Amino acid sequence: MLINMLNSCQKRLIYNLAYIPEHLPSYLCPFSDSEPCMDGGLLYYQAKEKISLMACPLPLNTKGPELYSHVNSLVRELKPAELGCISPVPLDVHGYKPVRTEYDLYYCLDLNNILSGPKLRNMLKRASSEVHISVGRDFTRDHLELLRKFIEFKGLDQEKALFFHRIPEYLSHSDTALVIEARTIRDNSLVAYDILETGSRLFAFYLFNITGKKSRDIPGVNDLLLQEAINQARKLDKKYINMGLGINPGIVSFKAKWGAYPFLAYYFQQFQPAFSWKRFFGLKG
């Protein structure tokens, strides 16, 4: 992993303007075995002949023609055999055909506008009578064991399971990630933990919520973890928490309960070079 592919000005730009976790090389590189590069305001990750393009510009600009032009110019120059794009709009890439498209929304929590109704306060009070919360950077055997059980319980496919398997590697490369954990008051056993990334000036990123069987028996434990994530983000003078994608209605409801709102569309597209009979015969076009 060669994070030094970026110069100091580019690193400072990313820190000042990052608004999605995929903007952070310390987060994405351990999961993709890639090298970060920048072209103007576009960040991309290169691994052999594969390019992962973050077509969410720094700063944010969703104007279609400008973004399409920049993306197509960059792809024309790089000529990847495989291309993956994350973008706030669906993209057409000249000479490539989409083979996979996913759509979702990023959710954002404004730290100056947190919701906290009586029902939520009661949940927090109840959970705090059964677990205590602590914050650190250590990732121990307890965390690994809970992660293993989480993957088994969720029945994740091989691709998604491999992503979660790399969490320890990501944490070893990030100086700005926090592990927020909940342990039982009775026997100090680990029941759940969140991973919060704080490597952006304005945003913290709510990356992972790893839970076990015991946490499912303690209503409000995930709310208690999120409350501490909010506290940590505020201590670091963040303005927002990017709460990640909606995924499913249950997760959306959990985020919305705290005041999170959809703030950016998420299109993930995978492309392969399109066969061109003109190129086959050496013709232009």
For 98-157, how does the pLDDT look when each residue is reduced to its tens digit (9 = 90+)? 999 999 999 999 999 999 889 999 999 999 999 999 999 999 999 999 999 999 999 989
Query: What is the predicted pLDDT for the residue at 250?
Result: 96
Plot region of 105 (φ>0 → left; ψ -120 to 50 → alpha; else → beta): beta
pLDDT at 3 over 80: no
pLDDT at 16 over 80: yes
| Strands 82-87, 261-273: pairing kind | antiparallel
Report the alpha-carbon distance of residue 122 to residue 134 in Å, rounded: 20
Q: How is the chain split into domains, by residue range? A: 3-104+266-280, 113-238
Q: Is it true that 3-104+266-280 and 113-238 share their CATH fold?
A: yes
Query: What is the predicted pLDDT for the residue at 22?
Result: 97
| Strands 240-245, 203-211: pairing kind | parallel
Question: Once rounded to an integer, what is the mean pLDDT over residues 227-233?
Answer: 99
| Strands 35-39, 190-197: pairing kind | unpaired
Specify the CATH architecture of the domain 3-104+266-280.
3-Layer(aba) Sandwich (3.40)
Q: What percent of the chain has pLDDT over 90?
A: 85
pTM attached to this predicted model = 0.92
pLDDT at 29 over 50: yes
Q: Give the residue among 57, 129, 121 at the shortest CA–CA distance from 89.
A: 57
Query: What is the predicted pLDDT for the residue at 38?
Result: 96
CA distances from 164 to 25, 147, 284 (A): 17, 8, 45
Q: Give the residue among 107, 118, 95 at the shortest CA–CA distance from 277.
A: 95
Query: What is the predicted pLDDT for the residue at 4?
Result: 47
For 203-228, how does the pLDDT look when each residue is reduced to its tens digit (9 = 90+)? 999 999 999 998 888 999 999 999 99
**Domain 113-238 sits in CATH 3.40.50.800:** no
For 85-99, how does the pLDDT look when each residue is reduced to its tens digit (9 = 90+)? 999 999 999 999 999
